[in-house]
Amino acid sequence: MPKKSINTKQAPAALGPYAQATELNGTLFVSGQIPIDPKTEKLVTGDIQLQTEQVLENLKAVLTKAGYGFQDVMKAEVFIDNMNEFAEMNQVYADYFTSNPPARACVEVARLPKDVKVEISLVAMKK
């Protein structure tokens, strides 16, 4: 079975030569999302909580298009530009992963695309 590319207009278009997600044998790999509002195609600016919420809404749209949900997420990778804002990001993140949360890595990076504060990628699996 070949890999399947997943794309939805409910999430921002890819900024380069990649799919929003790819799926193979019940495993979904979701590309990193940044806080771009897909309706306006504008960057959501402001604090890390606003940006994290938009990122998670974008991820939700990609998961939904592929027939998955946050309950199917096995691994999340969070990239933030300032570890001092971890608690604020984590408050919003916890609203989306309310029970049985996935494994997660969170790292501070020097710079993210479009100089945003947060980017998150996911791996989800179906039984």
Q: Is 29 a catalytic residue?
A: no
| Catalytic residue (choose from 50, 106, 112, 125) | 106
DSSP string, 67-88: T--GGGEEEEEEEES-GGGHHH
Q: 39 with 93: CB under 8 angstroms? A: no
CB environment 70-83: b (16+ within 10 A), e (fewer) = bebbeebbbbbbee
- For the annotated catalytic residues, the residue numbers are 106
